[in-house]
Chains A and B, each alone.
Chain A
Amino acid sequence: MKQDAWPLWEVFIRSQHGLAHKHVGSLRASDAEMAINNARDVYTRRNEGLSIWVVRAADIVASSPSDKEPLFEPANNKVYRHPTFFPMPEEVKHM
């Protein structure tokens, strides 16, 4: 099998009761249709989900680990940015 003919795809699945698609893994397929079929067979064999997203791994841009400090550090010492001081009403779910 030629690896370039079967590019890598990342698979996201929304589970039965899930609100959002969650990354579950990757697989190889020659195009999107085949990736969906393969994702169905590889990742939903035990009734895991009701919606599948596939995206070419090459189309994902990831943050660089070396950018960790400038990206995330500033949030840590500004406690007023964290909405942890408010009691949440029972009716509000999934915040």
Chain B
Amino acid sequence: MDRSLFQYALRMGDTTLILSQRLAQWCGHGPALEEDLALTNLSLDLLGQARLWLTLAGEVEGAGRDEDRLAYLRDAPDYRNYLLAERPNGHYGDTIARQFLFDVWHYFLLQGLSGSADERVAAIAAKSLKEVTYHARRSADLVVRLGDGTELSHGRMQAALDEIWFYVGELFVDDDVVADLAGRGIAVSHEALWPAWHEHVAAVLQEATLRLPDAADARHPAYQGGPSGRHTEALGYILAEMQHLQRTYPGASW
């Protein structure tokens, strides 16, 4: 088994799955009908991507675990998602801040992965990139609207950004899994995504009249650990809700 590829596919699958689950919590609670539908579209896009990554993880592992077993029968320490994805929705500005920082990273990452030496990774990335291009455009648009909106929306957007900022550093860490795959041309260096990401985020925040948080704040090790299974308290609650049915009625289907 290619252990690094298995871990990486899990990492991408879990991150998109958990963020999808988070966004789905907005269903029926969006601040406007239009936003409600947009967030649930986003959620379904990410769920589709999660299915592809988890199916790949199951294939690479070769132990007979399919996407459902991976999604519904693992506990928090076995989840490999980035911590950013599991952070609470908060108010709409919190959700948009989280989404924006994630989308921009996702966009640059998928661009890189589209040229992967592994054709399965390249195919998933190319398909996802089309969706994520729109996600990134839309979330940037909303950051500008909320940042450059009323005094109240500006203040709340800045606070949302400052709070979620601590969790972005992890997205740019080249641990042994990323380094191994990048060395073989299967993935790309995450560290190397930082300059493009930072430049784009800075430009959008400037247009939004928001202050760019300090890069050093994103590097605190206390806010890292998702890819190695060390999560915030939030993940357990998400999984308890998400996995309840399958755990109570194993093998249930419709």
Report A's interface with B, CB cutoff 8 A. Answer: 1, 6, 27-30, 33-34, 37-38, 40-42, 45
Closest beta carbon of chain B to A61's beta carbon, Å: 25
Which B residues fall within an 8 A CB radius of A?
A: 31-34, 37-38, 41, 134, 137-138, 141, 145
Contacts of A45 in B (CB 8 A): 37, 41
A-B contact pairs, 10 of them (CB 8 A): A27-B33, A30-B145, A33-B141, A34-B141, A34-B145, A37-B38, A37-B138, A37-B141, A38-B34, A42-B34
Known: A28-B33, A42-B34. 13 other contacts (CB 8 A): A1-B31, A1-B32, A6-B32, A27-B34, A29-B34, A30-B145, A33-B141, A37-B138, A40-B134, A41-B38, A41-B41, A42-B33, A42-B37
When C-beta atoms are compared, the residue in chain A nearest to B137 turns out to be A37
Shortest B30–chain A CB gap in Å is 11
How far is B5's CA from A26's CA once the two chains are assembled, in angstroms?
46
Smallest CB gap from A27: residue in B: B34
User: Is A28 within 8 A of B32, CB to CB?
Assistant: yes
Which residues in A have their C-beta under 8 angstroms from that of B33? 27-28, 42
Residues of A within 8 A of B141 (CB): 33-34, 37
How far, in whole Å, are A29 and B31 apart by their CA atoms in the complex?
12
Nearest CB of chain B from residue A63's CB, rounded to whole Å: 29
Residue of A nearest to B42 (CB): A41
- Among A6, A41, A42, the most chain B Cβ lie within 10 Å of the Cβ of A41
Q: How far is the CA of A1 from the CA of B31 in the complex (A)?
A: 8
Smallest Cβ-Cβ distance to A9: which chain B residue: B34
Kindly provide the distance from the CB of B218 to the nearest chain A CB, expressed in whole angstroms.
Answer: 28
5 A-B pairs with least C-beta separation: A38-B34, A41-B38, A41-B37, A42-B37, A41-B41
